[in-house]
């Protein structure tokens, strides 16, 4: 028994995403309509410097109506690989490049209504290499010792899901 798509209809489109009405047939043969957000895939980067500090950014997020502490991240551009996006975003957001970038894993951000997959990376051996930030980004950089970052995550002071997922995936590597 499987679920299958029957029909898709575009409802709304803008430069960042589009919304579709999707009709599916459930395993019990009944049909159901959903609204799905089609969004380009993205990356999250966990930069760790030689002092054992994780580099975070703080910026306003309209969905939370607050500044959130999060790891550098961004949307993969057309014809860009996740690795190339990670390399670009860490430079744009924290002004650093990494001699070593390793994939941590990939995950859906909100699979109940969105098809965006986030690819997480750990970046090490950081060096200064700034790129211009996007014009709509007003970012503050925060560096936290590794254990302090995990304590803050446990205490609910880091509320960004992609950052929490990347921290979870990186934990075994940060104990080395």
Query: For 98-136, what is each residue's pLDDT tens digit?
Result: 999 999 999 999 999 999 999 999 999 999 987 766 677
On whether the CB atoms of residues 133 and 55 are closer than 8 A, the answer is: no
Distance CA 35, CA 11 (A): 9
Q: What pLDDT is attached to residue 139? A: 85
**pLDDT grade for 152, boundaries at 50, 70 and 90:** very high
Q: 4-13 and 17-25 as β-strands: parallel, antiparallel, unpaired?
A: antiparallel
Q: What pLDDT is attached to residue 47? A: 98
Q: What pLDDT is attached to residue 143? A: 98
In terms of domains, do 125 and 106 share one?
Answer: yes
Closest CA to 171 of 146, 154, 152: 146
The pLDDT of 52-60, averaged and rounded, is 96
* Domain boundaries, position 163: 42-174
- pTM value is 0.92
In terms of domains, do 22 and 71 share one?
Answer: no
In terms of domains, do 16 and 72 share one?
Answer: no
Q: What pLDDT is attached to residue 137? A: 67
In terms of domains, do 125 and 51 share one?
Answer: yes
Tokens of 59: 């910026």
Q: What pLDDT is attached to residue 175? A: 77
**pLDDT grade for 18, boundaries at 50, 70 and 90:** very high
Closest CA to 16 of 44, 34, 37: 37
Number of domains into which the chain is organized = 2
Q: What pLDDT is attached to residue 149? A: 97
């Amino acid at each position: 028994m499987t679920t299958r798509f029957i029909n898709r209809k575009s409802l709304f489109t803008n430069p960042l995403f589009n919304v579709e009405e999707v009709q599916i047939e459930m395993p019990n043969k009944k049909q159901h309509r959903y609204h799905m957000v089609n969004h380009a895939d993205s990356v999250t980067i966990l930069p760790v410097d030689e002092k054992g500090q994780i580099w975070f950014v703080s910026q306003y997020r309209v969905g939370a109506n607050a500044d959130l502490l999060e790891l550098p991240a961004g949307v993969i551009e057309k014809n860009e690989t996740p690795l190339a996006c990670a390399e670009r975003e860490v430079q744009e957001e924290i002004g650093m490049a990494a001699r070593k970038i390793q994939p941590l894993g990939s995950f859906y951000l909100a699979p109940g209504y969105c098809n965006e997959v986030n690819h997480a990376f750990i970046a090490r051996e950081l060096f200064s290499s700034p790129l211009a930030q996007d014009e709509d980004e007003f970012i503050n950089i925060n560096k936290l010792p590794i254990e302090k970052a995990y304590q803050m995550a446990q205490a609910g002071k880091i509320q960004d899901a992609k950052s929490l997922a990347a921290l979870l995936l990186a934990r075994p590597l940060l104990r080395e």
